[in-house]
Amino acid sequence: MSEMDYHHIIVTDDTAAGVASSELKPILQKLLTALEIREKYMHRSLQRFPRNTAQILRSVNGQRWTEQEDVQPDFTCYPADMSQALSEEGIPADLPSRLEMRNGILTLLDCAGNLYTPESLRYPDHSEYTEDLKTVLQIISNGPLKTYCNMRLKILNSKFHLHLLVNEKKEFVDLQAASHSDFYNVGKVDTHIHAAACMNQNMLLQFIRKTYKRDSERVVRENGGKKLTLRELFQCLNLNPDNMDIDALNVHADRETFQRFDRFNEKYNPVGANELRILYLKTNNFIRGEYFAALVKEFVVSLDDASNQFAELRLSIYGSGPNEWKDLADWFFDHKVCSPKVRWMIQVPRIYNVFHKLNKVKSFEEMLDNLFRPIFEATLCPQKNKSLHLFLKYVTAFDSVDDESKTDEGFFPQLPLPANWTSKKNPPYSYYQYYMYSNITVLNHLRRERGMNTFLYRPHCGEAGSHTHLVDGFLTADNISHGLRLKKDPALQYLYYLAQIPIAMSPLSNNSLFLEYGQSPFYQLFQSGLVVSLSTDDPLLFHFTKEALIEEYAVAAQFWKLTTCDMCEIARNSVKQSGLSHQEKQTFLGTNYLKDGPEGNDMQRSNVSQIRIAFRFETWNHELKILVQAGKP
């Protein structure tokens, strides 16, 4: 559809809205500087940066953007025959080399002991990251810039309202013209869901009853050299599964969890018993995670029943020991927990202080070594690490998780290097983000050179705590989860818009933890044109139905009066930001989906009105062109 019959929203001569004309050029140059910094970090780590924004940055500097600069991550597509998904055929040969941890970042040495790096690799050192972080913080703290960004966001919001007034009926007609493009049929991805809570309460309760009835005499736990059967374990807990109900299970988040992350974590323990959490919701236990694998498979069946619905399940790697990756990969391989409807993400809890207190790690560098050395070795020597190599094929990203509301120090150069971080204090958020990002960057270049899939960095960011966390996300993350704190920082919000950084939001989760539903910035961000999606976070704790993602959409639709086109656009955003393969994204977004404009959907119908896509693109492109008009030296 080259020309669409709809009313275009054009506001003339609005480039200096809200600020004096003399202040405009310095403001725009600051915005350009921030965008250039983000582009540098995305390209270095082989993560995504929008073509249009990159082209604008080149034109401002008098350069030409080329196709070769368009870096895209490599995601694995499941084979048509699922029996081949875990096939050991075609595993690459091992590469003779060795690894060495230097200043918290793994480096590769050749057989002679010389430093070996891919030609394209260049990650920022500690001081460069600190300076870039300070630069962006200074930019978003500038008074005139904050005023300007606030006005631009208000204009974007008003344009969207005006667009709905004159084009909403046309959008609906456009949707009706495409068969099988209603909300239930379009592709949608739960881009933020933790595997240990992917099931609902009733599913977990019924599974506990089923296993108790079937396996009551099975040995399921060993404690102090004494082995316990399932019946004996429940007797020790004074529980009878036949008499338990959902209220007794007590896993649903309620008023007591609001602003209490500690109580929220306790909700992962069915009936308050950590023994049941280990048995049913962990991969590494006496029965080698068999029950947890069965629960995940039941969740996958529910996805199979839902049309075009996918999930990116998060599994934990803690860094407390060197065998965690092997144990997780063996769980995945032995129980064949794979499905074309599921991609996997690795979440790393920021709890170094806990492991240090338990004497499991002596320094932060040891924790980083436990986190990254096994996957570097699987990349270099996949023949020696077959199960981990196969598991990593279906891992799309890394996450960083914990309570952001905890106060921590800023990231300053005087902080010790990871090898010298031996105190019981937990490193600050920025410290975690830098070392996670840098190691993923080195790993991505090595894997791309070896013809393997690469990884994105998609941390929890801006759920609570300091707004500086969102600056870390702006520098290091392909996309983030939550982003609630953008509500209070118009400058950062506008930068996230210009860079089109995706945000997976979970209003029902936030409602029980940090921000009541009516105060969620989700709809305001959506109206302004930020790339937001809806996700469930923890269905076990927050949802009631078998289709938790549909429940999330349903509540949002009722509360904010979302139209069918709105929900399809949000679903489209979830597909764009997800780790689905390029082939799958082409199915839902069009064969040229990498292009930013409506022409990206020229061969197939998108899962949202072409009119809405065109409006979003024209509005975003207008904001970028303002940078060109007044940003040239």
- Residues designated catalytic: 482
**Cβ-contact 271, 206 below 8 angstroms:** no
Neighbours of 282 (CB within 10 A): 15
Beta strands in 145-283 (DSSP E): 188-194, 219-223, 226-229
Give the CA dihedral 138, 143, 149, 154, nearest 10 degrees.
Answer: 150
Backbone angles phi, psi at 251, to 5 degrees: -110, -5
DSSP secondary structure code for residue 593 in this structure:
T
Tokens of 435: 């070392």
Residues contacting residue 464 through CB under 8 Å, at least 6 positions apart: 403, 404, 405, 484, 485, 514
From the CB of residue 150, how many other CB atoms can be counted at a distance below 10 Å? 16
Residue where the block lists tokens 């084979």: 79
Half-sphere exposure (Cβ direction) of 529: Cα atoms closer than 13 Å = 29
Residues forming a β-bridge with 107 = 100
C-alpha 537/C-alpha 37 separation (Å) is 30
Judged by DSSP in three states, 1 sits in coil
Nearest to 152 by CA among 452, 530, 507, 411: 530
> 45 is written with which tokens?
């780590």
Cα separation, 172 vs 565, whole angstroms: 7
Give the integer Cα–Cα distance in Å for 475 and 488: 19
CA angle 40, 46, 47 (to 5 degrees): 80
Q: Which of 53, 44, 27 is nearest to 499 (CA)?
A: 53
Strands (E), 443-556: 456-457, 460-461, 480-482, 503-505, 532-534
Q: By C-alpha distance, which of 340, 375, 385 is closest to 88?
A: 385
Tokens found for residue 442: 């080195």
Residue 76, judged by CB atoms within 10 A of its CB (0-12, 13-18, 19+), counts as middle
Element (H, E) at 346: strand 342-349
CB 88 within 8 Å of CB 62 = no
Of 367, 378, 294, nearest to 329 by C-alpha is 378
Give the residues across from 533 on adjacent strands. Answer: 504
DSSP annotation string for 190-222? EEEEEGGG-S-HHHHHHHHHHHHHHHTTSEEEE
Dist. CA 249–CA 45, nearest whole Å: 43
Q: Is 259 helix (H, G, I), strand (E, B) or coil?
A: coil
For 170, the token pair is 């046309």
389 vs 87, 379, 386, 393, CA distance in Å? 11, 7, 5, 7
Q: List the one residue out of 596, 398, 564 whose CA is nearest residue 480.
A: 398
Integer CA distances (angstroms), 441 to 397, 437, 448, 554, 579, in order: 12, 6, 11, 38, 17
